Chain A
């Protein structure tokens, strides 16, 4: 292990110690502790879903797609409204078509004319796309709160009653979300590693110019369509949990610290980053907050809102490319 990894190792050890500390508090039962960690993991999975969309597009085209959150919202809105008229599976299929069409339009009208422009220009363009999708979504689908009903019972189930006193409460829809996310990850991994199109996409991501010279055109539209599908899964899961409303796109803001932590270019990084942020903020809220209240006589609360950003900031200082990101060595 080389010394350049040392700060990261120290940081991870510190995080682990921080996670273990609550167990020393005498009023923390193991069952409660596991419940908090599980709860954190579940919401982490949801962050991962959004972060994956960012990572996919950034890896393939070097564009930071600010519109990912708007895409999640748009997908959720489309599923919710179409499902009012037909079964859920048909609404999902229709939404896949809509998101693919959207990807094509964005690629043709926004990205292609801007090929070879600076990254900041492309970023500003996606900002524009984000606001357009917001407004356009309202125009097409309306601005009320809609719901997506996955047909999963809402009441939580008790598991592991034999292991922990009182058992552990788990939300069914959270468990479904976690399973969906896992499926999506496996599917994407197979697509990228095992199909010729996946191979071509990796080639484009690696070196645009070399890919072009062996006859692979810029196939960004496929990546955007894949990111659209990821947005559909995220939108469905979030939408069924929180209801489909415009605050849904704020989850994209939560995905920013996740991609910083995991590395912008890495899909596995998005997953791990999401889990770290999910568990971290939940634990901070449950265990750190009371300590702060007692010690400094603060009002407490709200830690969940800023913890992820502080964590991301620390990671930026120690390892700017993120846990799994590619380290760029520029020749001067």
Chain B
């Protein structure tokens, strides 16, 4: 299934990253890379440091040591909105949508970085500002069609069922037209049908938009079908890195992850 895409050079390099909160070590000397156009999974049992890793990549946390290099730019301390400006988008494990706003407005906020007209022009809606809004709207409508959420466009997000909210979260991230998309447990809490839909969307995004994707999941079976390469974390340490088959056969993974799960 991965033959159609040409996986390229590394676009994101995580080098020797360590992160701790007070005395608690969340990540210890973690290194891996993500190549262009690939779907890269980070898995591990609960508390392995997966979400911390994602938060480091998009600048929510600043690691005590180590570096993150994105598109050749190494940043020591970066804030989430700067990461966003560099083309890194993300979704959230516990949804962080703007609950009072409609689906459409939520997704439109994803276009914020690409808005050029100034405040005054927007307020009185003169020519260029109006044209800009319409152009952004067209992009957003395409994403809405793509994720099949046309029927709830005007609904306040807080009223949608969980599975649809997850889709809106993905849509908002896609509206940024990111080069790198971080998905924090996109399948968590979903039923089987919703999971299959989400898998299809992730593959389609990767294929049609050429977006590089990093996803976190603790449901191992989902990840194995979806990803090109897998990183396994346990207690903040990287214990395996390779193709799904390699990882599945790795004795450390079996004892730390599968073994623990089956015990």
Contact = CB atoms under 8 A, between A and B. Distances in A.
Contacts of A214: 84, 89, 109-110, 112-113, 172-173, 176
Contacts of A162: none
B123 A191 contact: yes
Contact of A196 (B84, B98, B99, B112): B112
Contacts of B79: 212
A55 B81 CA distance: 26
A216 B96 contact: no
Contact of B80 (A191, A194, A213): A213
A213 B101 contact: no
B81 A212 contact: yes
A291 to B, nearest CB: 44
On chain A, which size bracket covers the interface? 20 to 34
B92 interface: yes
Contacts, number: 83
Contacts of A199: 101, 105, 108-109, 112
A199 B111 CA distance: 11
Contacts of A161: none
Contact of B101 (A203, A209, A216): A203
Interface in A192-211: 194-197, 199-200, 202-203, 206-207, 209-211
Given A195-B123, A196-B122, A202-B98, A213 B60 contact: yes
Contacts of B227: none
Contacts of B108: 196, 199
Nearest to A222: B119
Contacts of A151: none
Contacts of A206: 98-101
A211 B113 CA distance: 11
Nearest to B100: A206
A217 interface: yes
Nearest to B117: A196
A87 interface: no
Interface in B84-135: 84-85, 89-90, 92, 96-101, 105-106, 108-113, 115, 117, 119, 122-123, 125, 133
A113 interface: no
Contacts of B212: none
A147 B81 CA distance: 46
B67 interface: no
A210 B84 contact: no
A229 to B, nearest CB: 12
A170 B83 CA distance: 58
Contacts of A211: 98, 109
Interface in A98-150: none
Contacts of B110: 214
A197 B176 contact: no
Contacts of B211: none
Contact of B81 (A195, A196, A215): A215
Contacts of A213: 58, 60, 80-81, 83-84, 89-90, 92, 96
A92 to B, nearest CB: 17
Interface in A212-264: 212-217, 222
15 contacts: A194-B125, A196-B112, A197-B122, A199-B105, A203-B106, A206-B98, A210-B98, A212-B84, A213-B58, A214-B89, A214-B176, A215-B85, A216-B81, A216-B109, A217-B81
